Structure 1
Amino acid sequence: MSGIQRIEIDGRPYVLLSEEDYEDMIDMIDTIEAQAIMARIAAGEETWPHELVVELMSTDSRIRTYRTYRGMSVSELAAAAGISQPYLSEIENGRKTGSVDVLRRIAAALRVELDDIAG
């Protein structure tokens, strides 16, 4: 970077730089952010495929969407969450809301955050 100037306007300090220097700076920031994301992924952070994200934005049951994504049956998820299959079905179909405790157990069984299914 070159040609950076410090200026003052109405008593406030500013930095003036060329558009080329600005673009270079943005590219460096993007690179740093991308490296941080890749490090989180390398450390095991889960990523979501685009199709799942789109489905989550339009679904009437985030629990069902995550359950299907995880390849679990209603019975498997119910057992993992320690609830009955009919109760889980009622929650998935919007007939019951489920207590916070139950939703936490469902989220844990799906390996997602509570906010991911309650949002």
Structure 2
Amino acid sequence: MSVQFIEQNGQRQYAILPMAEYEALLDKVEMLEDIKAYDEAMRRDEEMIPAEVVYRLLNENKTKVWREYRGLTQSELAECCGLAQATIAQIEGGKRTGSIDVLKKIAAALTLDLDDLV
């Protein structure tokens, strides 16, 4: 690493380095921050969600995406919630929004927080 130092009063105050080395340092800092965030998530035992699922959650019906991610059919989810399969189909199709009580049941069946569905 080729660093030039600027001193004031006999003490190093500034370090000057080539832009390529500066950018490499920034990349390493970002990687360390990512590793720290990952380690923290693992410590809290957070569920790791694949990127494809996250993308779908941004663009599709959340109930449908979570149901499929959990490997359930509409009928299985409806049974877990004590609802009709048609209710799940209507919510997933956007024909119904579902009451708070219904969404709470769906969230519980999918082991989610209500916020994950709305």
Mark yes or no: TM-score above 0.5. yes
How far apart are 1:29 and its partner, in Å? 7.8
| Structure 2 counterparts to residues 1-119 of structure 1, below 5 A | 31=32, 34-59=35-60, 61-118=61-118
TM-score normalised to the size of structure 1? 0.68
SS at the partner of 2:117? helix
Taking a change above 3 Å as real, the CA distance of residues 55 and 36 of structure 1, as seen in their structure-2 partners, is closer
- RMSD, matched Cα: 3.1
Q: Which stretches in structure 2 are left out of the alignment for 5+ residues? A: 6-13
Over the matched positions of the two proteins, sequence identity in percent amounts to: 34
Taking a change above 3 Å as real, the CA distance of residues 37 and 70 of structure 1, as seen in their structure-2 partners, is same
TM-score normalised to the size of structure 2? 0.68
SS at the partner of 1:71? coil
Partners of 1:51 and 1:28 in 2: how far apart?
27
How far apart are 1:84 and its partner, in Å? 1.4
Alignment size in residue pairs? 109
Taking a change above 3 Å as real, the CA distance of residues 30 and 17 of structure 1, as seen in their structure-2 partners, is farther
How far apart are 1:26 and its partner, in Å? 8.9
How far apart are 1:25 and its partner, in Å? 8.8
How far apart are 1:27 and its partner, in Å? 5.3
Partners of 1:86 and 1:67 in 2: how far apart?
15
How far apart are 1:78 and its partner, in Å? 0.9
- State the structure with more CA Rg: 2
Partners of 1:17 and 1:82 in 2: how far apart?
66
Q: Which stretches in structure 1 are left out of the alignment for 5+ residues? A: 4-15
How far apart are 1:49 and its partner, in Å? 0.6
The one-letter amino acid of 2:115's match is D
